[in-house]
């Protein structure tokens, strides 16, 4: 399967935006490895994020548009 230049650029742009956001709000996340601990909440959130990323890629590959902002959904806690 060939990935179009446009889709690759969208993925790269989203990756870069999320990486910049993490560097600003949670720089420790690049070194923290608690997501590797079995049964840790961080592990569940890591897998949830990975699942969301795969969903984004599948939508891009199907031609659907995505928001350019990282975490553009509901931010309520």
Please provide residue 12's backbone torsions phi and psi, each rounded to the nearest 5 degrees. Answer: -60, -45
Question: Quick check: is 75 in a domain?
Answer: no
pLDDT at 17: 96
Closest CA to 43 of 33, 53, 52, 54: 33
Give the residue numbers spanning the domain of 9: 5-61
Is 24 inside a domain boundary?
yes
Query: What is the number of structural domains in the chain?
Result: 1
pLDDT in tens, 3-45: 678 889 989 999 999 999 999 999 998 898 898 999 999 999 9
The alpha carbon torsion through 25, 42, 66, 2 (nearest 10 deg) reads 120
- The answer as to whether 73 is a domain residue is no
Answer yes or no: is 57 within a domain. yes
Domain membership flag for residue 76: no
pTM, entire model: 0.65
Domain-embedded: residue 20: yes
pLDDT for residue 38: 93
Helices (H), 1-77: 5-25, 41-61
Instruction: Examine residue 46 and state whether it is found in any structural domain, yes or no.
Output: yes
């Amino acid at each position: 399967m060939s990935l179009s230049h446009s889709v690759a650029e969208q993925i790269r742009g989203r990756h870069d935006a999320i990486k910049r956001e993490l560097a600003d709000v949670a720089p420790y996340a690049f070194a923290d490895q608690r997501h590797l601990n079995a049964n840790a909440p961080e592990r569940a959130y890591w897998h949830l994020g990975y699942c969301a990323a795969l969903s984004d890629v599948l939508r891009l590959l199907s031609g659907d548009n995505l928001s350019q902002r990282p975490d553009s959904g509901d931010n309520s806690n």
